[in-house]
A and B are shown apart, each in its own frame.
Chain A
Amino acid sequence: MLEVLDCRVPASLQDAGRPGYRHLGVPLSGALDIEWLAIANALAGNPPHTVALEAQVIGPRLRANAPVTIALAGEFSARIEDAGGQSREVGNWRSHVLAAGEVLDTGSLRSRIGYLAIHGGFDLPVVLGSRSTYVRAGFGGIDGRALIAGDRLNVLPIGKAGERTSLPLRLPRPPGPWSGALRVVSGPQREYFTDAAWARFVGEAFIVGRAVDRMGLRLEGPRLDHALGADIVSDGVAPGAVQVPGDGHPIVLLADCQTVGGYPKIATVIGADLPCLGHFMPGQTLRFVEVSIEQAIAARRQANAALAECLASIVPGEGGFNLDALYTANLIDGVIDAHR
């Protein structure tokens, strides 16, 4: 079991989200970077879409009240402090065993967001098919809110498949910082904008505004002028859609975005580039480039293949051992305690 000692910047629990309920106004939610979620889980010996902790900017401090195996995907600056006050640095893109009483300080995040997965997965109620936190309606995760000091995160019973996994694991070639232009397909309301606005949209750089949350990325910089007005009768939206309100400053929608919206959408970020949207920091610049639908579908296929290759490259970490042996030996009491 992990106890939250301190969480200064809102962190939440996310899995792959809750598709299938958007007609009821329930947003998709889920991890901003679904690929890093999968990596964190693979490193923890879990199925890819197991619920994990999504940290941002400064990650939480957590105490293991029983031995647990955790994995970090993201550029954390994490340390483990043992009960005697000794502290050691811990690497990213690998799993670690925390002994009972040890404290993990995940530290600041150079990648803005990062994932902490736990071997077995967090034991949280499933709400409408998902354990993802959705703060606006207050459901999912722990009571539908960000983590706070004192929260206790229990671990689900570990399945047979998990028990055979050799832990810890590490990713030999971690993903580098994302660079390049965000690929978009035009529309659905391209005709609501002037040609000059489109030229600026794909030709100029935007700056990420200060308000960054899980609903959207507000952009500053070039103004995009509407040709047919800034209001439409609401229609469907999706993460990645670039909506432009009356002030001409675009908003790129993210995982917690509403299901419908009343602003025209000039373009939509393709699925393959959605995971990197969560990493943009306020003040960072960002560019868009147009691709065709066919290119977008090909890019999605390519991204899936690249992720599969990445997960397949995971190897046992230094000091690796068989978990069966581990759990049947000295840690068994702690594991049973953690599962209770």
Chain B
Amino acid sequence: MKPRILALGEGALTLEFGDRIDPAVNARVMAARNAISSLRLDGISDVVPTYRSLTVHFDPLLLDRTTLVEQLVEIAQAPTQRSSEAESSGTAATTRWLLPVIFGGEFGPDLSQVAQATNRSEAEIIETLCSLELRVFLIGFLPGFPYLGELPEWLRLPRLASPRAAVPANSVAIAGAQAAVYPWQSPGGWHLLGRTPVRLFDIGDAARPALLAPGDTVRFAPIGRDEFGRMSIAVDTGKIVRKDWLS
């Protein structure tokens, strides 16, 4: 698909690279994000990458829209070189996280149904999920909420027919080709498999409030109840800090 520039009102432009979830498309999005950020244009307030597009929010009275469109066209037209650059440099710089998760029981109330629906054992579900190196495609829905992908075909299930009114914070969940961690208690329709002691969003850290960023990778590691308890306390008391979750 040829990149397109779409108007989201007069104060935002969306640079669209594709219409589906595809790691190659996402790599172009991230390359374009870097290219725009490096322009350091006054008047841009937010640059928001998604799976397949990049939305630039700006003040059209501070930044000439026509000029910005021209710059976006230029960035979109040099995708191959830019994305390969980003990918080669990205490989070296990729931030890899290892997030401990307690699976099943009260922490993952949907694990048994997921096992039934996929005709696998609960152990196989956990083993599969923990064997994957998942890519952070997008942060959205809630502050710090990561969309992780992709799950193997057999583990892809539709969302719950009736969403829960309150998914506990720190729940690890799956839906379709994606996995996610809920940083906040919220309504949600994904299948809950477990819970992590890791704090995904810290409002006290204005420089980097979200733990994960698009382009990072995440692995899950199973832990037991005692370990979950110990780690949760250590997070609360500051004995475990963010970099301790790096792989």
Name A's B-contacting residues (CB within 8 A): 19-26, 127-129, 136-139, 185-189, 232-238, 240-241, 258-260, 265, 268-271, 293, 296-297, 300-301, 304
* Shortest CB distance A239–B (Å): 9
Check if B238 is an interface residue, CB within 8 A of chain A.
no
The answer to whether B143 touches A268, judged by C-beta atoms less than 8 angstroms apart, is no
The answer to whether B140 touches A258, judged by C-beta atoms less than 8 angstroms apart, is yes
* Shortest CB distance B140–A (Å): 4
The answer to whether B140 touches A233, judged by C-beta atoms less than 8 angstroms apart, is no
- Tell me the complex Cα distance, A128–B144, Å: 13
Query: Taking A235-B16, A235-B53, A236-B55 as contacts, is the C-beta distance between A297 and B140 under 8 angstroms?
Result: no
Among B42-50, B86-94, B99-107, B121-129, the stretch in contact with A: B42-50
The answer to whether B184 touches A136, judged by C-beta atoms less than 8 angstroms apart, is yes
Query: Taking A233-B51, A296-B9 as contacts, is the C-beta distance between A21 and B209 under 8 angstroms?
Result: yes
List, in ascending order, chain A residues with CB within 8 A of B206's CB. 128-129
The answer to whether A236 touches B50, judged by C-beta atoms less than 8 angstroms apart, is yes
For this complex, 14 residue pairs linking A to B, each with C-beta atoms less than 8 Å apart, are A21-B143, A25-B140, A25-B141, A127-B203, A136-B184, A136-B186, A187-B7, A233-B20, A234-B140, A237-B55, A238-B11, A269-B9, A271-B10, A300-B60
Check if B179 is an interface residue, CB within 8 A of chain A.
no
List, in ascending order, chain A residues with CB within 8 A of B12's CB. 236, 238, 268
The answer to whether A233 touches B21, judged by C-beta atoms less than 8 angstroms apart, is yes
The answer to whether A301 touches B11, judged by C-beta atoms less than 8 angstroms apart, is no
Q: Which of B26-57 contact A (CB under 8 A)?
A: 45-55, 57
Query: Taking A127-B203, A259-B140 as contacts, is the C-beta distance between A25 and B10 under 8 angstroms?
Result: no
Check if B153 is an interface residue, CB within 8 A of chain A.
no
List, in ascending order, chain A residues with CB within 8 A of B65's CB. 293, 297
* Shortest CB distance B13–A (Å): 9
Check if B232 is an interface residue, CB within 8 A of chain A.
no
Query: Taking A233-B50, A238-B11, A241-B8 as contacts, is the C-beta distance between A22 and B209 under 8 angstroms?
Result: no
The answer to whether A25 touches B144, judged by C-beta atoms less than 8 angstroms apart, is yes
**Contact check: which of B19, B53, B144 meets A236 at CB < 8 Å?**
B53
* Shortest CB distance B217–A (Å): 18
The answer to whether A265 touches B48, judged by C-beta atoms less than 8 angstroms apart, is no
- Tell me the complex Cα distance, A129–B205, Å: 11
